[in-house]
Structure 1
Amino acid sequence: MAEAVAALRADGHQDWRAYEPLELPPILAAALEAFDEQGYHGTSVRDIARRIGVTVPTLYYHFQNKQALLVELLMGSMRAVLGRCRDAARDADADPVARFRILVECVVLYMAHRGPLAFLDTEIRSLEPENRARYVALRDELEAMLRHSVQDAVDLGAFTTPYPVDAARAVLTMCQGVVNWYRPDGPLTPATLADRYVTLALSTVGHRTRR
């Protein structure tokens, strides 16, 4: 198995808002490119090996099979965004509204900066049952962080949504949807996009501004 890389580690950053260009080992980079272009089932191990100029046995020396490549990318990506969200939440201290705002910002920034990795979430259907369960557990943790911030803010009277669980899920789905259309060469920077989505998210949960 390949060594962990900074871009796929929960602690692979110094500032949760800052992003360096995505750098992956050649095999993982080729697998990500192939999965993005052709889908998991449309990609063969031979195709991945061909993209980087190695033999299939060489690829198998590092990764057991194609499923192992998908797991490494998906689990690594989810750990990376979770790590950033955990750090972001700590910056908000005990204020649930600030925690909600900062979590939305964090997720949108990740989707904008790590689009190809984040888009791979659509291949969850290709994970084997045990691997899918591990991945869903991490994704549920991310949703729980957002859900708790919404419920805490509702309890304080800062959010007025009568459906905190549904609202949190809707906000997370909205943020994750950024990968379907955002392009780095477009008119919006990731920071501007994140600010807009924070505003949209606050409307979704019925944010009550204090006079």
Structure 2
Amino acid sequence: MTEPLYADWRTFEALPLTPILEQALDLFNENGYHGTTVRQIARRVGVTVPALYYHHESKEAVLVALFEMQMRELNDRAEAAAREADDVVAQFSNVVEAIVLYMTYRVRHVSLDTELRHVSADSRSRYAASRKRLELMLVDLVADCVARDVFHSGDVPETVRALLGMCQSIPRWYQPGGALTPEQVAGRYVDIALHTVGYLPDH
């Protein structure tokens, strides 16, 4: 039987990026999307520009490939985290933990979100659909907990959007190797998230 993808969702190994994607990720973080040229990426990789275009039809295609890899991994980890839990509150806590761990361990990747404005409308739509998958998972979990009188949220979709916005802002301030480990950040954000949804364990 095949082991589920990201069954060990708290463990983050180095991503199996191609040399092109690895070097592009570094350059986009260093110089921004507009400040990076295809020639620079090719030079870092040690290939010609035509060779790079053989794998990716444009610089935008390279950025889109990074976006797609990011959201696929985040969604898969969040779903694995939910599957591991025995009850709905633990599912919610695990999913928030998975999101925050991703935002900290993969900070180089999620920092690219600021470059989303540079891709085509079609690519943005696909990315938005992937993000919606994560949002709807949390909406279903919170709504279920509200129905069970475990959470107390007056507007579930808006509460979930606020929680995701809070988590997605982490790359703006988080520094790898700083005062807080990813696990410490995740623990704090899970606690904040439970308060936000009105969790009353002794209710």
Further displaced range: 199-208 or 48-57: 48-57
C-alpha separation in 2, matches of 1:153 and 1:14 = 24
CA distance in 2, matches of 1:23, 1:115: 16
Give a deviation string over 1:169-189, Cα, whole Å, max 9, x none.
111111111111111211211
Which AA in structure 2 matches 1:184? P
C-alpha deviation, 1:14, in angstroms: 4.2
For residues 151 and 197 of structure 2, what CA distance do their matches in structure 1 show? 6
* Partner Cα distance (1:152, 1:14) in 2: 24
Per-residue Cα deviation, 1:37-93 (whole angstroms, up to 9, x for no partner): 222222211111122222111111111111110111001110001011111111124
Q: Distance in 2 between matches of 1:90 and 1:14?
A: 9
| Residue segments in structure 2 that go unaligned for 5+ positions in a row | none
Tell me the C-alpha RMSD between the 2 structures: 1.5
2:110 aligned with 1:122: no
Sequence identity of aligned pairs in percent? 49
Alignment of 1:168-179 (within 5 A): 168-179=160-171
Aligned to 2:8: 15
TM-score normalised by structure 1 residue count: 0.90
Instruction: Assess if the C-alpha contact under 8 Å between 2:7 and 2:80 holds in 1.
Output: no
1:80 paired with 2:73, answer: yes
Separation in 1, partners of 2:7, 2:93: 20
State yes or no: 1:196 paired with 2:188. yes
Amino acid at match of 2:100: V
Q: 1:152 aligns with which of 144, 153, 161?
A: 144
| Structure 2 counterpart of 1:208, one-letter code | L
Q: Is it true that 1:62 corresponds to 2:55 in the alignment? A: yes
Counterparts of 2:52 and 2:181, CA distance in 1: 37
Distance 1:98 1:210 in 2: 15
The residue that corresponds to 1:53 in the other structure is: 46
Structure 1 contact 158–209 (Cα < 8 Å) conserved:
yes
Tell me by how many angstroms 1:23 deviates: 4.2
Count how many residue pairs are aligned between Structure 1 and Structure 2.
200
Q: Match of 1:107, SS?
A: helix
Deviations 1:71-125 (A, max 9, x none): 11001110001011111111124x3211111110000001111001111122221
- Letter of the aligned partner of 1:45 in structure 2? V
Moved over 4 A (4+): none
Alignment of 1:2-41 (within 5 A): 11=5, 13-41=6-34
| Inter-partner Cα distance in structure 2 for 1:116 and 1:126 | 18
Residues of 2 paired with 1:123 and 1:150: CA distance?
30
Unaligned runs of 5+ in 1: 1-9
Counterparts of 1:70 and 1:141, CA distance in 2 = 21
Equivalent position SS for 2:60: helix
Cα distance in 2, alignment partners of residues 114 and 74 from structure 1: 12
State whether residues 108 and 194 of structure 1, in contact with CA within 8 Å, keep that contact through their aligned partners in structure 2: yes
TM-score normalised by L of structure 2 = 0.93
- Paired letter, 2:129: A
Measure the CA separation in 2 of the matches of 1:155 and 1:62.
49
